[in-house]
Structure 1
Amino acid sequence: MSQPVALTAFFVTQTLRGLSRDGRTVIASVHQPSSEVFELFDQLYLLSEGKTIYFGQASEAYEFFAQAGFPCPALRNPSDHFLRCINSDFDKVKATLKGSMKLRFEASDDPLEKITTTEAIRTLINFYRTSHQCYAAKEKVDEISKVRGTVLDSGGSQASFLMQSYTLTKRSFVNMSRDFGYYWLRLLIYVVVTVCIGTIYLNIGTSYNSILARGACASFVFGFVTFMSIGGFPSFVEDMKVFQRERLNGHYGVTAFVIGNTLSAMPFLIMITFISGTICYFMVRLHPGFEHYMFFVLCLYASVTVVESLMMAIASIVPNFLMGIITGAGIQGIFMLVSGYFRLPNDIPKPVWRYPMSYISFHFWALQGQYQNDLKGLLFDNQPPELPKIPGEYILENVFQIDVGRSKWIDLSVIFSMIIIYRIIFFLMIKISEDVTPWIRGLVARRRMQQKNGTQNTMVAPSLLQSPSLRNYVANRANGRGKR
């Protein structure tokens, strides 16, 4: 270690030591510290392959290793000696040198020259289990575990709920505006796709062949166009990672996060759907009229927002990019199957698929509403042309099997209610993850610790009973409990 690096390490450790004197607990993971740096630590915890070698006062570690049969040689840094005793890589290096370079190692009084590091580790582990450091650590753990109702103060935020929501909305809005791939590239793709739709169904008219063409156009717009919204899932996962880190520090609540995420995405989704929806509507020449135009773009906005809300709910429980996208795509694929286009509503098998799957599919309600919005009030040419024209209401009832007695605005309101439902599910998933998951992990960890302690007690007890110091220790503990 060069001198500037050594000085920097000493300065950093000395600063951390000063912080610990102000009532803070500082935990540092270090590798091969200098003797000056090592002397600054109060407690020392040595691990080897996940097993405890030593846990106690750093100043007592030197004597602990000496009593275990591994005294620190003169002129050797104690921390280097401890590392030498518990790192089995030294055995591999020595074996390699002896085998390839035919080196001869001079005899010494170091016990590690006579046994392997693996044997030394096993000896140290067993010695630690019978040491007073181990019993002191267990007593401290038992003392801490008996404390109930203590609430750790993580600092938290002094801002009001409205300020938290405003700040999160503003920050999320800025992040989204700077993320080219999340919204701006999506806007470009949406525009390109809707231009393609507009050129394929250009000025579709009211001929006999346009009846099914209008249905296909609506199915593609509200099926496959909204399907592209799953592309934002990686950004949702990153938002969840930031939220989890900041939530642990108590900076804001779950409700403020959900509200901020919802409000910040709203302007971008409105812009994307209104621009692309306007292009598609006027190029295809769907049912003319401002009311019909507004319904079309509002229905498209609601459908895209439902997908965003669904993917956010998935992101709260599936943090993996690939698995989340596959899950979201699978759910939407099932929803499209029961939308009423690939199989007419009355022909969908009633158990499961008709009830309830078609009713929880937003594609079903979007197509029901758009079919009414586009066909109701129009007259289509018959085949042959000399026959009377076909009213749109007749097509809705007999071709697409739609209940014309239900208003299209009810269909739209159902989609908006799904947005709220998915956001509530998103909120509940976060709360469950915060409250239930740690409880389950704690329960599993406690059971494992109980099993481990039971195993250790069974293995160590016969050898411990032969120790006079342990018998005195147990007798003193029993007398102390009797006095209480």
Structure 2
Amino acid sequence: GVSGGERKRANIASELLTDPSVILLDEPTSGLDSSLALEITKILKEFAVKQKKTIIMVVHQPSSEVFELFDKLMVMADGHMVYFGERAGAVDYLTDQGYKCPPNFNPANYALELLNDNTIKQKLINAYTHKTRDDPTGKQVVEKYSRRTHADDQSKLNAPVTSERHWEATFLQQLSILTERNFKQSRKIILSRLSISLAITMTISTIIIWFQIPFAEPNIDDRVSNIFFGCTNWTFYVMSESVLSFPLELDMLMKERQSRTYRLLSYYLSKQIAELPLVLFNPILFTIPVYWATNLLPDFGRFVAYLIVVLLGVLTSQSFAYFFGATILDVQKSICGFYIKHLPTGLTWLKYLSFLKYSYSLLMQIQFDSPKAQFRCARPGELLAGELSKCNAGDNSPMSSIPGISIIENQGLNDLPWYANLIVLLEIVYLMHKAIFFYGITYGVIFFLKTKQVMISSQLKRGSSSLPALGWRSYIHILNSAQSSILMLVKAMIVQAMFRNFQKY
């Protein structure tokens, strides 16, 4: 788990990423021991000095070491100021009021002890009020300790509101930091102990069920079912994990994007780079031992091709899951699939909409479209009662073995050549990522329009807008309509592009 100190530091670091000019911290050291409180305060002090930032902290009973790190100090009681000024001058001020801090005593604790006495507390409140009677609003005190001049403040007030983007880190820095963060976050989920244990369990179970399948006619269906299981198992497993990836991170993404912490492209690329090796680990762990233990085609080239297609199917399912998650955003269940050999008349075209059809066909072609894929005909008594051998089918003389290509034809998986199946799979991956990229551009444009809307509203309230007589409400309504229109247009473009690419095949 994460300790209290680590959680405090992580929360502070997440806000420092936005590079604010002023940082307000409400009791950042509460609940921590003295060493952790001192460590956090030192980090903030170093950041304030090096980056020239203003950090305002609310603390209760700071240790003497923490107290010494403050530059300026404001002591309050019952909503009234008791002291405001240099930290080093607090002890002298209390001495002037008749309350001398004992030697080697923490000034913070001494001030709190004084304020616990109602009589002393009221006396100190009245004394500071009398001291600042000529400056009741505190304006002179603020100007005294401020490094900015009145002219600087006035120039900033009169400056026009702009929507210019400003990134504190370069694209490569954003990509590097986000990739490391996404990898650490995803590793605990994708490669958890439960996930790896499940992969090992499925690997052992699959090997036990389909161990050393003979190249014989009675075992052809066993071989086909083994390939189908290996194709679909990791496809739906990865899809169920990835479909909620974007929706669960949407709130964090919107918050960090609004503070202009990083580009949307940096986030998306870092997510792909970080999750790619994690997503492929379990399918590789499963496929390599299962391929050789279940006696699939003993050819190293075919094995490499089989493994690549399995991983390509995993990436395709992940792309679909990302697309559905980014489109719907409230997905709660993964998409189910059905295995059916003969679709009803008029629905045969539906199979071309499933990416599983292409990955499964490609795996079957790798295993059965080969001269080595020869299956011994069934001996008497090996087939079930009433089942006819494929070796005796037709008018030709009986065969001694069944070629693998005839099994592909019997399964109806020879409608597309292997390269067409491969191209379609690659095209689907490309289209899904392209669709998500279009969505990213769309939300980026909408974010710009919302920023423009806030900017116009701000200018109108200050009376510095040069908008036509159309009226600011009508103008903002136009911006809202533009946001909806752009989102609908991009969705239409994505659907059109998908159908246009599928028509090639």
Q: Bin the TM-score by the shorter chain.
A: 0.5 to 0.7
Distance 1:282 1:436, change over 3 A: same
1:379 corresponds to? 374
2:295 corresponds to? 285
Q: CA deviation at 1:232?
A: 4.4
1:391 matches 2:403? yes
| Amino acid in the other structure paired with 1:172 | N
Q: CA deviation at 1:148?
A: 9.4
1:415 corresponds to? 425
2:437 corresponds to? 427
1:271 matches 2:281? yes
Distance 1:430 1:362, change over 3 A: same
Instruction: Provide the C-alpha distance between the structure 2 equivalents of 1:214 and 1:317, rounded to a whole number of angstroms.
Output: 38
Please give the TM-score of this superposition, normalised by the length of structure 2.
0.51
Distance 1:267 1:35, change over 3 A: closer
| Amino acid in the other structure paired with 1:211 | I
Q: Secondary structure at the match of 2:411?
A: coil
Contact 1:313 1:429 in 2 (8 A): no
1:163 corresponds to? 173
Contact 1:396 1:404 in 2 (8 A): no
1:197 matches 2:185? no
Instruction: Provide the C-alpha distance between the structure 2 equivalents of 1:236 and 1:395, rounded to a whole number of angstroms.
Output: 41
Q: CA deviation at 1:262?
A: 0.9
Contact 1:176 1:183 in 2 (8 A): no
1:121 corresponds to? none
For 1:190-339, what aligned pairs fall within 5 Å after superposition? 190-229=199-238, 230-319=240-329, 323-326=330-333, 329-330=334-335, 333=336, 336-337=337-338
1:406 corresponds to? 417
Contact 1:281 1:293 in 2 (8 A): yes
Contact 2:167 2:261 in 1 (8 A): yes
1:78 corresponds to? none
1:360 matches 2:353? yes
Q: CA-to-partner distance for each residue in 1:366-424, whole Å, 9 max, x for gaps?
A: 11101111112212225547831221112212x111227712x4423432332222222
Distance 1:245 1:226, change over 3 A: same
Q: CA-to-partner distance for each residue in 1:283-324, whole Å, 9 max, x for gaps?
A: 2111111122112221221122222222223333444xxx41
Paired positions, count: 306
Q: CA-to-partner distance for each residue in 1:5-51, whole Å, 9 max, x for gaps?
A: xxx999xxxxxxxxxxx9x9x9xxxxxx96548xx9xxxxxxxxxxx
Instruction: Provide the C-alpha distance between the structure 2 equivalents of 1:243 and 1:164, rounded to a whole number of angstroms.
Output: 14
Q: Secondary structure at the match of 1:185?
A: helix
| Amino acid in the other structure paired with 2:374 | L
Contact 1:254 1:427 in 2 (8 A): no
| Amino acid in the other structure paired with 2:340 | F
Distance 1:34 1:372, change over 3 A: same
| Amino acid in the other structure paired with 1:402 | L
Q: Secondary structure at the match of 1:287?
A: coil
Q: CA-to-partner distance for each residue in 1:82-121, whole Å, 9 max, x for gaps?
A: xxxxxxxxxxxxxxxxxxxxxxxxxxxxxxxxxxxxxxxx
Instruction: Provide the C-alpha distance between the structure 2 equivalents of 1:315 and 1:200, rounded to a whole number of angstroms.
Output: 35
Distance 1:425 1:186, change over 3 A: farther
Contact 1:156 1:249 in 2 (8 A): no
Point out the more displaced range, 261-270 or 374-383. 374-383
Contact 2:245 2:325 in 1 (8 A): no
Contact 2:322 2:436 in 1 (8 A): yes
5+ residue gaps, structure 2: 1-24, 28-51, 57-76, 85-158, 379-387, 393-397, 458-471, 475-505
2:120 corresponds to? none
Contact 1:164 1:252 in 2 (8 A): yes
CA RMSD of aligned residues (A): 4.4
Instruction: Provide the C-alpha distance between the structure 2 equivalents of 1:349 and 1:187, rounded to a whole number of angstroms.
Output: 43
Distance 1:420 1:391, change over 3 A: same
Distance 1:438 1:182, change over 3 A: farther
From 135, 145, 151, the counterpart of 2:163:
151
5+ residue gaps, structure 1: 1-7, 11-21, 27-32, 41-146, 452-484
Contact 1:226 1:304 in 2 (8 A): yes
Q: CA deviation at 1:222?
A: 1.7
Contact 1:393 1:404 in 2 (8 A): no
| Amino acid in the other structure paired with 1:206 | F
| Amino acid in the other structure paired with 2:286 | S
2:341 corresponds to? 343
Distance 1:162 1:417, change over 3 A: farther
Q: CA-to-partner distance for each residue in 1:173-203, whole Å, 9 max, x for gaps?
A: 23233x1555553233223223222221221
